[in-house]
Structure 1
């Protein structure tokens, strides 16, 4: 079946049917630059056709000759997994209860609580524990006025900022003020810890429009990440996380795809929790 597409320089009110066109380079000079380029069906072009304004590009639709898909209903029904059945159902239920107990018994340290929540989210299993997570975050937010530990731990502050904002809590960007010098820049000494830089970098993507501190956080971390990756003597696991973050930050990732990637990273982590 043949299809034709035309480009013509006419007022935008004549637009009828949008289509992606491939225009030969040599013909571009025939289009009037002071009028918009439009794509029209053949009938409309023939009505308005002028030699000095119209370029006709005829294209043929090629047949792909694709073979039928093997993924019919019978094939899908034939797929199976060894991790099904009553045994694995009981095992999964048992593991959920162990993690639920872990959440309830986590220490009162804010950082421990937030790290556990962040790990559960990134592993893609936090939806099993929504109620428990909400209780912890509510408590963390209520006690957020206690700023004694914030003056020293940028990693924890960044983690708290990101997780709380991710769940809709209104956390001000001013929580980072103690890590900024007189010139309004983040202190250079902070760049020595890559985990801290990663935490700050991911937090910067939860900044709102007009928040200068969060913009500065993004520029600061991005700059030092490039220097870090240029060093040959770096931890391979950390380097992989940094490259992944620069390519696609947490805030922009598809949760399921990100979880599958993080599972492999978490397995190699020194503080990995087997449960």
Structure 2
């Protein structure tokens, strides 16, 4: 189920970045925000298919969770999708309007648009035997550990992909936001972002030791999503354009046996 969500996120991100007009993605966002597909025929076929896939997959996860965990998660899942689509829409408006956000403004939106909050929410639903309102209220506030994991995923992605994405046509990423804001060179900006990554890792490590109403499997998912990001984007865009470095790295990690002598 988590794999389906990630595939949908990647596809819908491309709808906002590449395939949808401003009018279409505004309609898409409105439908998701209202969780209503009654007027879906206003969208072109390809975008309509994406919306239906998101809607049906979310309801499938909701049905499974209601049956296995006896808790209706649809209100929380639909809200997370709406937050993500609103963040995508804001970035699209920045791009079409030629707006250049500050680094702080960019990261405030990017911690949602990177989709980690949605992925981690699904992780909570799928790994927690007893879902509690206390935990859900805490999740709704985007606790520090989730915020830090989201920022690390965003920054690792930006360090590995920003040059290619800008060449294709996209908003400024973290490196370029810092350059535009301070007048720094790209080398200095990358050094600043790498230092920021280092400081955020310290926060994650502290947060792992703090008391919060989550089980260990969900807590571990937060640093793990950050580790995965740094693995995929260590040598460039290992997700969108996987090269030999990324493939060799993953094969070494997941397939090849570890020598014991």
Output the TM-score relative to the length of structure 1.
0.28
* Structure with more contact order per residue of length (Cα contacts < 8 Å, sep ≥ 6): 2
Point out the structure with the larger helix share: 2
Point out the structure with the larger strand share: 1
Structure number, greater radius of gyration:
1
